[in-house]
């Protein structure tokens, strides 16, 4: 009877969610008649919708399911990964406002447009297209397989059918409604994602096995150093030395670099082009991501992961029985086990939809923007020579998004081992896009051949330091990729390679306009000067080498939180203040009406609009 009741609530919430998704898909189908309207929402995504949808897209189903599971496996040392609520949006703080200004003035539709124009290189456009397609296929495959696995565990639906069915939902609203539909579906996905994490963590804390915060914190305090401290040794590889966690201070820091690659990925750059105004950027970066999602992760995902570890070491019979039914304890099964054990039927259905929403919130924008990038940079520009109707563009875009969805499903269903590797590489590849972004947005100077060689070398370095020589010196592959990319770009410059006169004049014009329109006020200059010291100091102590001080600095801890957990919460709060300073006081993410008007009226459209 209970199983039937549980399944009923799962399907009730799933049905409501499907209706909402289909509504926005069909609305977009009947209203979006131009290619720019379909692919970048006509640059009209509103303030509130972007706040929630962009935040949901930054935190995938891995946040919902994998993050608590790895806290269970590796303890509070891994819980430093929760700082990606800050390191993901800090990429947006550095780049997004200026990206929007350039997109508005020059008419850029895809990131390939911007990079190829600035560096005057079609080779760079192809590199961005390849990166976007690989992202779309492999990262979406990871998400869709996770959805199928969760559907199988919670509702007993066969894995393959569940993956295909849940992929169909994403495909429908992405292909019919375009970016605007994905954005409005992302609104409800954000609410479900954050709400689901908090609900499950709350039910774990109040469970009879713990009886509230006091008993829970006492139980966590007895777990031992392996689960409560950052290890002091350097471990080579993700597995670390026997009995040790691989999450050393340097691994924690450089792993955060990989997650910074989410908002530098081609998909996110394209989404930035689609917003009506850059005004929501500062609020998304400093509040929605850093504070709201941070609150859910630093407390409620830790409740889940550490709670599961306590249940395991105390041999809780119900927990172990459910784990045995699922095939044993693994980091991917911890959240479904906790859901089965502690959630009432209605709450189980709601939290299940939170997990599915988290998964879809990432798959949808990657599939949608991947199709749009292929349309714009390959079909429209190369095959049709920029001569094709809006209607044809929209339908070809839908066809390409369909192909990407099918490819993601095929890869996910047939290449599980490779899928794990390629999915993990995605964010590191995104961080390599810093090689291009720092050139376009902040004027780092190296020739276009250096940029091309740098990106290629960076991607090769990511693969080698992830698969062949895992994480040398206990530093993540993302660090080695971008370090190598920038080094190669400057080596090419040092070798005497120079850009053409046309390229240099083009870049000088773009730099002059961007630096003029985005010049900070006198107060903003003072804050930027201070932030040049504050941000590195925060990184060094919060998630860098000095985070090891958190092991013992607070003794027995504060308010029941262990010393390391207290350290994480303290630096999270300080991180919120830092992001406020960066986004608002240093004016890194705020935009005046004058700046917006200038970008709109001083247009020098050199890239033909779709």
The DSSP result for 331-382, as a single string, is TTTHHHHHHHHH--HHHHHHHHHHHHHHHHHHHHHHHHHHHHHHIIIIIIII
Coil, helix or strand at residue 583: helix
DSSP labels for 418-475?
HHHHHHHHHHHHHHHTHHHHHHHHH-----HHHHHHHHHHHHHHHHIIIIIS-SGGG-
Quote the CA–CA distance of 109 and 415 in Å, as a whole number. Answer: 33
What's the confidence (pLDDT) of residue 3? 47
Quote the CA–CA distance of 231 and 229 in Å, as a whole number. Answer: 6
In contact, 416 and 148? CB cutoff 8 Å: no
Query: pLDDT for 373-428, tens place per residue?
Result: 999 999 999 898 888 888 899 999 999 999 999 998 988 888 755 555 566 677 88
What's the confidence (pLDDT) of residue 155? 83
What's the confidence (pLDDT) of residue 243? 42
Average pLDDT estimate for 1-16? 76
In contact, 89 and 285? CB cutoff 8 Å: yes
Quote the CA–CA distance of 61 and 52 in Å, as a whole number. Answer: 16
> Was domain 2-601 assigned CATH 1.10.1740.10?
no
Q: Predicted confidence band at 328 (pLDDT cuts at 50, 70, 90)?
A: confident
What's the confidence (pLDDT) of residue 429? 86
Q: Considering the chain, what is the average pLDDT of its residues?
A: 87
Average pLDDT estimate for 523-531? 95
What's the confidence (pLDDT) of residue 379? 92
Tell me which residue has tokens 């990925």.
265
Dihedral class, residue 21 (left if φ above 0, else alpha if ψ from -120 to 50, else beta): alpha
Confidence check: pLDDT of 303 > 90: yes
Half-sphere exposure of 512 (CA within 13 A, CB side): 6
What's the confidence (pLDDT) of residue 287? 92
Distance from first CA to last CA of the chain, Å, rounded?
Answer: 56
Q: Which of 39-43, 65-69, 193-197, 293-297 comes out lowest in average pLDDT? A: 39-43
Tell me which residue has tokens 């565990």.
153
- Most distant pair of Cα atoms in the chain: their distance: 76
Nearest residue to 71 via CA among 264, 269, 194, 245:
245
CA 88 to chain centre: 7
The secondary structure element, H or E, covering residue 384 is: none
Query: pLDDT for 137-180, tens place per residue?
Result: 888 888 888 888 888 888 888 989 988 998 999 999 999 998 88
What's the confidence (pLDDT) of residue 521? 92
**C-beta neighbour count of 140 within 10 angstroms:** 31
Q: Predicted confidence band at 226 (pLDDT cuts at 50, 70, 90)?
A: confident
Coil, helix or strand at residue 181: helix
Confidence check: pLDDT of 66 > 50: yes
Confidence check: pLDDT of 51 > 70: yes
Q: Which two tokens stand for residue 255?
A: 């792993």
Separation in Å, CA 291 to CA 83, 89, 577: 11, 11, 10
Separation in Å, CA 430 to CA 17, 139, 535: 30, 11, 21
Q: Which of 300-304, 322-326, 345-349, 411-415 comes out lowest in average pLDDT? A: 411-415
Q: Which two tokens stand for residue 175?
A: 């292909």
In contact, 557 and 565? CB cutoff 8 Å: yes
Confidence check: pLDDT of 197 > 90: yes
What's the confidence (pLDDT) of residue 406? 94
Confidence check: pLDDT of 242 > 60: no
Burial-class residue 164 by CB neighbours within 10 Å (0-12, 13-18, 19+): middle
Q: Predicted confidence band at 6 (pLDDT cuts at 50, 70, 90)?
A: low
Quote the CA–CA distance of 170 and 406 in Å, as a whole number. Answer: 12
Query: pLDDT for 468-509, tens place per residue?
Result: 888 888 888 999 999 999 999 999 999 999 999 999 999 999
Kindly list the domain boundaries of the chain, sorted by start residue.
Answer: 2-601
**549 CB-near residues (< 8 Å, 6+ apart):** 541, 567
What's the confidence (pLDDT) of residue 7? 81
Looking at the chain, the whole-number percentage of residues with pLDDT higher than 90 is 50
The four Cα atoms 523, 528, 529, 532 give a dihedral, to 10 degrees, of 160
What's the confidence (pLDDT) of residue 239? 43
Q: Which two tokens stand for residue 299?
A: 């407390």
């Amino acid at each position: 009877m209970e199983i039937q009741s549980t399944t009923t609530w799962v399907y009730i919430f799933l049905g409501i969610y499907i209706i909402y998704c289909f509504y926005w898909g069909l609305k977009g189908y009947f209203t979006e008649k131009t290619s720019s309207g379909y692919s970048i929402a006509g640059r009209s995504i509103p303030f509130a919708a972007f706040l929630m949808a962009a935040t949901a897209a930054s935190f995938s189903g891995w946040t919902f399911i994998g993050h608590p599971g790895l806290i269970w496996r590796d303890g509070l040392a891994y819980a430093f990964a929760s700082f990606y609520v800050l390191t993901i949006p800090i990429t947006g703080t550095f780049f997004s406002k200026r990206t929007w200004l350039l997109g508005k003035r020059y008419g850029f539709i895809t990131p390939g447009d911007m990079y190829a124009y600035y560096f005057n290189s079609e080779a760079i456009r192809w590199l961005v297209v390849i990166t976007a397609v690989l992202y779309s296929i492999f990262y979406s495959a990871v998400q869709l397989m996770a959805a199928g696995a969760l559907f199988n565990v919670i509702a007993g639906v066969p894995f393959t059918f569940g993956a295909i069915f849940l992929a169909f939902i994403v495909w429908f609203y992405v292909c019919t409604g375009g970016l605007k539909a994905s954005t409005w579906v992302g609104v409800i996905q954000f609410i479900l994602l954050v709400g689901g994490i908090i609900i499950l963590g709350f039910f774990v804390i109040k469970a009879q096995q713990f009886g509230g915060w006091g008993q829970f914190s006492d139980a966590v305090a007895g777990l031992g150093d392996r689960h409560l401290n950052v290890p002091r040794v350097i471990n080579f590889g993700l597995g670390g030395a026997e009995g040790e966690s691989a999450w050393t201070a340097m691994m924690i820091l450089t792993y955060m670099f990989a997650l910074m690659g989410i908002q530098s990925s081609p998909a996110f750059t394209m989404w930035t082009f689609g917003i009506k105004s850059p005004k929501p950027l500062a609020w998304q970066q400093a509040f929605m991501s850093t504070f709201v999602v941070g609150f859910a992760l630093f407390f409620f995902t830790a409740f889940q992961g550490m709670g599961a570890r306590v249940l395991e070491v105390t041999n809780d019979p119900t927990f172990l029985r459910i784990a045995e039914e699922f095939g044993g304890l693994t980091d991917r099964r911890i959240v479904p086990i906790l859901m089965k054990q502690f959630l009432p039927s209605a709450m189980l259905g709601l939290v299940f939809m939170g997990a599915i929403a988290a998964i879809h919130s990432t798959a949808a924008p990657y599939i949608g923007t991947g199709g749009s990038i292929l349309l714009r940079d390959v079909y429209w520009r190369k095959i049709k020579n920029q001569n094709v109707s809006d209607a044809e563009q929209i339908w070809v875009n839908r066809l390409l998004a369909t192909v990407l969805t099918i490819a993601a499903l095929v890869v996910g269903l047939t290449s599980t081992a490779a899928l794990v590797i390629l999915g993990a590489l995605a964010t590191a590849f995104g961080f390599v896009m810093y090689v291009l972004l720092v050139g376009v947005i902040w004027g780092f100077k190296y020739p276009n051949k250096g940029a091309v060689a740098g990106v290629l070398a960076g991607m090769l370095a990511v693969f080698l330091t992830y698969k062949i020589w895992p994480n040398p010196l206990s530093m993540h592959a993302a660090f080695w990729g971008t370090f190598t990319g920038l080094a190669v770009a400057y080596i090419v410059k040092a070798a005497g390679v120079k850009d053409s006169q046309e390229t240099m004049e083009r870049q000088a014009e773009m730099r002059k306009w961007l630096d003029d329109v985005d010049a900070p006020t006198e107060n903003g200059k003072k804050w930027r000067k201070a932030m040049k010291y504050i941000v590195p100091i925060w990184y060094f102590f919060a998630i860098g080498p000095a985070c090891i001080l958190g092991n013992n600095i607070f003794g027995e801890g504060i308010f029941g939180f262990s010393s390391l957990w207290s350290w994480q919460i303290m630096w999270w709060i300080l991180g919120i203040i830092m992001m406020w300073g960066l986004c608002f006081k240093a004016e890194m993410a705020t935009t005046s009406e004058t700046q917006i008007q200038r970008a709109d009226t001083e247009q020098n459209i050199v890239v033909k609009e779709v």
